[in-house]
Amino acid sequence: MPLPVIGNLLDLSFDQFWLRVSKWADMYGDLVYLRVFGQGILFLNSFEAAVDLLDKSGAAYAGRPLTVMCGKLCGCENITAFAQYGPEFRRHRRLMQHALGAGNIQGYRPLIMEETHFFLQRMAESGQDFVSHIRRYIGGQMFAIVYGHRIVDEKDPYLKRAENVLDLLSNHIASLGAGVWIVDIFPFLKYLPSWFPGAAFKRKASNWRTVIEDCVRLPFERVREDMSSDARTLASYCGVLYNRPAEDIGISRAQYESDIQWTAGTMYVASLDTTLIVLMHFALAMVLYPQVVQKAQAEIDQVVGHERLPTLDDRPALPYIEAILNECLRWGPPIPLALPHRLTKDDTYRGMRIPKNTLVFANVWRMTRDPELFPHPDEFMPERYLNLPADDPEAKQRDPRNTVFGFGRRRCPGATLVESSLWALMACMLATMDFHKATDSSGEPIEPHIEYRDVTLRMPTAFQCDIRPRSDRALELIREAVTAKE
């Protein structure tokens, strides 16, 4: 029963909140509506409801929460993922779709494979540091794709700034667990001077805004300097867009460069932890399910052989590797409760009135754990994606890409690029590495211990494991691939 003023606030528990929402779904169905401090919140717990509202009525549900702290004071309204639906957001989407379209994705393939080979080399040298190596792989690959420059190591200042911003966004500024900022309840408080008692939020916002703007501005300034001096750089998102003819832009040059800068920053920051989460769950699954590794390696050995490493051109011929990618996305969704959409006008669905400004969350966790679609949903079973009938009526909702990458006009525009990168790394790791549990001093296996502490992202804590080259020939292939790039 909602209480006066605070509504359903006491029903909220932010520790793995998606689990609480899924329990509500068991009790109340696939639509669960709450009110907290007068704010309506709707959880969509089924694929059907999410498609009906967020896809089919996409424009009405394409807004983002109206937040003073996050949007106005911290400057996150410029970040594409947080921007309100309108002319600026639509320009951002067009830029990303232009640079990340099918034609341009092909141009990034050599860079994806090159970074994958460097990752394998680092793993062969020190497999116990696999989390650091994955971070370096993701950060280096995406920085090169977005800005046309290489990350030298995991201490690179561009990478550290991006990780800092991601931590601010997911754990402080826009996190469920950070609580409700008082300025979002009483917006007039934004006019208080920062020295005023109780205005600590303004001092925090000012500092955080500077951190965010530096993270977005500095790498783009480097791109602009390179373009002005005709310096040689890698093919990149910023490079593709920066050199577009003036007649194709349709807005002022200053606004156009601002759009490139903020979309580039959004792509880079947003890709870091979400991709890391999928790859950490991949490593965990390979350690826990050795029979999956054996099947995958047998398929690769048969199709690719032992004279080269897999490439993205092999993807259609490796259905079991594709099934592993699908199952990793389903089994370890990075954001189990998708970022909230805001309804921009009153709506009615299934006889229920949904008021304007309701925040709508797609419960990705529930959709990817539906036991009717996915028997034994907590088990890692790539086979569930094999030998499906061509006319499978549930194919769309069974495909995790249709849930984990978002819905409607907020769907991730870089999904094709991300999954290409994930597939390449998974295939090459399985071709060259063996995965085992770590052992203690007496040789007994150590079970991986996992905790989830982030309230927005389902980020597992680091765990012990033993990942090493599966043979001398695998090690030779890694060295040959890296040498070929030098």
Domains of the chain: 83-334+387-485 (1.10.630.10)
Cα–Cα separations (whole angstroms), residue 78 to 84, 261, 265, 274: 9, 10, 10, 20
pLDDT of residue 392: 81
User: Strand pairing of 466-469 and 433-436?
Assistant: antiparallel
Q: Alpha-carbon distance 403 to 373, whole Å?
A: 14
Pick from 53, 49, 73: which is nearest to 63 by CA? 53
Give me the average pLDDT of each 10-residue run along the chain (486 residues): 47 75 95 91 97 94 92 91 92 86 80 94 90 91 89 82 86 66 86 89 94 94 82 76 74 90 90 92 97 98 96 97 98 95 96 96 97 96 91 89 95 91 97 95 92 86 94 96 81
Sign of torsion over alpha carbons 292, 297, 298, 303: positive
Q: To 10 degrees, what angle do helices 319-331 and 290-303 make?
A: 150
Tokens 């169905």 label which residue? Answer: 29
pLDDT of residue 21: 95
pLDDT of residue 295: 98
3-state secondary structure of 179: coil
- The number of CA neighbours under 13 Å toward the Cβ of 414 is 26
List residues forming the annotated binding site. Answer: 412
Q: Alpha-carbon distance 448 to 462, whole Å?
A: 9
pLDDT of residue 11: 53
> Which pTM was predicted?
0.91
Tokens 């996150």 label which residue? Answer: 76
pLDDT of residue 246: 59
Pick from 79, 227, 257: which is nearest to 149 by CA? 227
Q: Alpha-carbon distance 94 to 80, whole Å?
A: 11
**215: CB partners within 8 A, 6+ apart:** 161, 162, 164, 165, 265, 269
Tokens 């490439």 label which residue? Answer: 311
pLDDT of residue 7: 47
Q: Alpha-carbon distance 299 to 319, whole Å?
A: 9
pLDDT of residue 405: 95
Pick from 427, 388, 421: which is nearest to 303 by CA? 427
The answer to whether 410 and 364 are in contact (CB under 8 A) is no
**17: CB partners within 8 A, 6+ apart:** 176, 337, 455
Task: Report which DSSP code applies to 377.
Answer: T
List residues forming the annotated binding site for heme. Answer: 412
- Burial class, 278, CB count within 10 angstroms (exposed 0-12 / middle 13-18 / buried 19+): buried
Sign of torsion over alpha carbons 417, 418, 421, 427: negative
- Both structure tokens of 183: 């300025």
pLDDT of residue 3: 46
Vertex 237 angle, CA 171 and 339, to 5°: 30
Q: Alpha-carbon distance 95 to 97, whole Å?
A: 6
